[in-house]
A and B are shown apart, each in its own frame.
Chain A
Amino acid sequence: MHPLRHPRNAIFVGLVFTLIGFIYWFVPYVLKIHVDYAGVTMLAVLGIAMALMAYVLIAGSPND
């Protein structure tokens, strides 16, 4: 199996969304403008959902 196809790598997909969520919170926080906490929450949790989806896609694929 190619190392990139390891299901563990699904976590990186989740981290991308979590990172976007962090930026979405950090920039308004630094600029002292309104922080959209609903959006931040959705992006952070979207990371979990997307990691699960990536896990399913990788782990659920046949090895051959």
Chain B
Amino acid sequence: MTADSHALTTAEHSPVAGLTHDARGGISNPILGMILFICSEVMFFSGLFAAYFAVRAAAPVWPPIVEGDEALTEAFRLHDEPWFALGLTIILVLSSFTCQFAVWAIRKDDRTGFIRNIGITLVLGIVFLIGQAYDYATLGFGISDGTFGTTFYTLTGFHGAHVFGGAIMLSVVLYRGLAGQFSARHHDAVEATSLYWHFVDVVWIALFSTLYIL
């Protein structure tokens, strides 16, 4: 077999098992690009988290107490009612599992399993977004309600935008999957999208832990 005849393959001899590589062991360009993009996104979110922790450390009490506004003070106490957000967390974690099941399915050329799992992932992502919109509508405070409101909505809003972007990627992957464009040998877009989706999931777990538990 010549090197050209297996230029792209899931190389068993590769140092990174499971990802698609060229025959010499390098990562394929779409996956390389996605990992580098995720690196930049990690730093983007770290900036937002840094702002949150700086504001929180400078506050005398956290969550802040608003003098003369009991309702707003009560609304800031997210730690008391984390259950809805916990439900959203479970949905997003489940979607990461189904996304990975889809990747494993297409690696085995199981297109039916791939399409089913990508479809479930997309539905779970949309349910998360609807849940977040509902949460925003019922929280009882807005983005202009002090540093707490600003940091909360900035963090969760940017994350929601990333989930929305991920849902678009999943839609494209689902459409291409239905069109039969993916196989065990050619599915870089699926691998790249799954990496992004796992990243978005990890960021939400960090957000949930920071805003609702810590």
- A51-64, CB under 8 A of B: which get 1 and which 0? 01101101111111
* B42 with A38: CB separation less than 8 A: no
Q: Tell which of A35, A41, A52 touches B46, judged by Cβ atoms closer than 8 Å.
A: A41
* B35 with A41: CB separation less than 8 A: no
Q: Is the interface of A mostly helix, strand, loop or mixed?
A: helix
* A56 with B36: CB separation less than 8 A: yes
Whether B53 is near chain A, meaning CB under 8 Å from some CB there, is yes
Q: Tell which of B24, B35, B43 touches A45, judged by Cβ atoms closer than 8 Å.
A: B43
Whether B49 is near chain A, meaning CB under 8 Å from some CB there, is yes
* A35 with B24: CB separation less than 8 A: no
Cα(A55)–Cα(B26), bound, Å: 11
Instruction: List residues of B (10-40) whose CB comes within 8 Å of A's CBs.
Output: 13-16, 19, 22, 24-27, 32, 35-36, 38-40
Whether A1 is near chain B, meaning CB under 8 Å from some CB there, is yes
Q: Tell which of A39, A41, A45, A62 touches B25, judged by Cβ atoms closer than 8 Å.
A: A62
Q: Which residues of B contact A45 (CB under 8 A)?
A: 42-43, 45-46, 49-50
Whether A48 is near chain B, meaning CB under 8 Å from some CB there, is yes
* A41 with B53: CB separation less than 8 A: yes
Whether B56 is near chain A, meaning CB under 8 Å from some CB there, is yes
Instruction: List residues of A (24-64) whose CB comes within 8 Å of B's CBs.
Output: 35-42, 44-46, 48-49, 52-53, 55-56, 58-64
Q: Which residues of B contact A56 (CB under 8 A)?
A: 27, 32, 35-36, 39
Interface bin, chain B? 20 to 34
Known contacts A37-B50, A63-B24, A63-B25; A49 and B39 CB within 8 A of each other:
yes
| B206, closest chain A residue (CB) | A45
Interface bin, chain A? 20 to 34
Cα(A61)–Cα(B43), bound, Å: 24
* B50 with A7: CB separation less than 8 A: no
* A52 with B35: CB separation less than 8 A: yes
* B42 with A49: CB separation less than 8 A: yes
Cα(A6)–Cα(B14), bound, Å: 10
* A40 with B53: CB separation less than 8 A: yes
Chain A proximity of B18: nearest CB distance (Å): 11
Chain A proximity of B57: nearest CB distance (Å): 4
B residues adjacent to A (C-beta < 8 A): 13-16, 19, 22, 24-27, 32, 35-36, 38-40, 42-43, 45-47, 49-51, 53-54, 56-57
Query: 6 A-B Cβ contacts within 8 A?
Result: A6-B15, A45-B49, A46-B43, A49-B39, A61-B25, A63-B25
